């Protein structure tokens, strides 16, 4: 994609750090490491610039987005991502929240492994130059669309490094400096369903 896009994170997309998800839930899953920001204030009025965004954020955690696409072989255009909720499948949040007073999103480095092998690396600067700029972009566009961001909502920054495909049996771990690790496994049955 040559431009950012946006989608909606639904409650049933949230996965607990370290748990196993049923790989069959997804059509053609891919994973990417991101920074998740939790808003402490509404972003309804004002310039919605980097300074306002920084002040409105309550904390950040490491995250893995599980991307998915209904388009065969991920042969997608920008219009496809808009129609497919930004290719959002699910997301996993870390459990070590950090305030921005204790964490610099731009300076953060990321390493993501799949089954213990390094699969993707990157940094906060890879996300529009600054993950806070990505949040500001989202805040402005959400307001223009009549659905401004609200306190308590979770915002995924966008990928800090390349997205990678995964299959049943994969164990994915992302480590982001200052935020720690977050992980998810892809199983072949739903937890507790006995199948």
- Look up the pTM and report it: 0.90
Give me the pLDDT at residue 85, please: 64
What pLDDT digit, counting tens, does each position of 127-164 carry? 999 999 999 999 999 999 999 999 999 999 999 999 99
* Domain 12-187 bears CATH identifier 3.90.850.10: yes
What pLDDT digit, counting tens, does each position of 57-110 carry? 999 999 999 999 877 776 767 666 666 666 789 999 999 999 999 999 999 999
Residue 98 structure tokens: 């950090």
186 has pLDDT over 90 = yes
Instruction: Domain ranges for the chain, please list them.
Output: 12-187
DSSP secondary structure of 144-188: HTT--B-TT-EEE---SS--EE--TT-EEEEEETTTEEEEEEEES
What pLDDT digit, counting tens, does each position of 2-44 carry? 667 788 999 999 999 999 999 999 999 999 999 999 999 999 9
Q: Are 62 and 36 in contact (CB under 8 A)?
A: yes
């Amino acid at each position: 994609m040559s431009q950012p896009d946006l989608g909606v994170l639904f409650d049933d997309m949230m996965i607990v750090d370290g748990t196993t998800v049923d790989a069959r839930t997804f059509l053609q899953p891919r994973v990417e490491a991101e920074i998740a920001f939790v808003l402490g204030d509404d972003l309804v009025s004002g310039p919605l610039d980097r300074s306002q965004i920084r002040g409105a954020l309550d904390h950040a955690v490491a995250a893995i987005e599980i991307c998915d696409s209904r388009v065969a072989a991920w042969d997608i255009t920008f219009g496809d991502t808009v129609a497919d909720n930004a290719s959002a499948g699910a997301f996993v949040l870390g459990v070590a929240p950090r305030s921005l007073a204790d964490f610099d999103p731009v300076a953060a480095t990321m390493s993501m492994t799949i089954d213990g092998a390094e699969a993707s690396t990157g940094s906060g600067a890879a996300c529009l130059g600054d993950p806070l700029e990505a949040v500001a972009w989202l805040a402005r566009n959400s307001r223009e669309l009549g659905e401004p961001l609200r306190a308590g909502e979770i915002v995924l920054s966008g990928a800090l490094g390349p997205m990678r495909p995964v299959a049943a049996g994969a164990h994915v771990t992302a480590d982001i400096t200052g935020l720690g690790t977050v992980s998810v496994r892809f199983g072949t049955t739903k937890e507790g369903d006995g199948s």
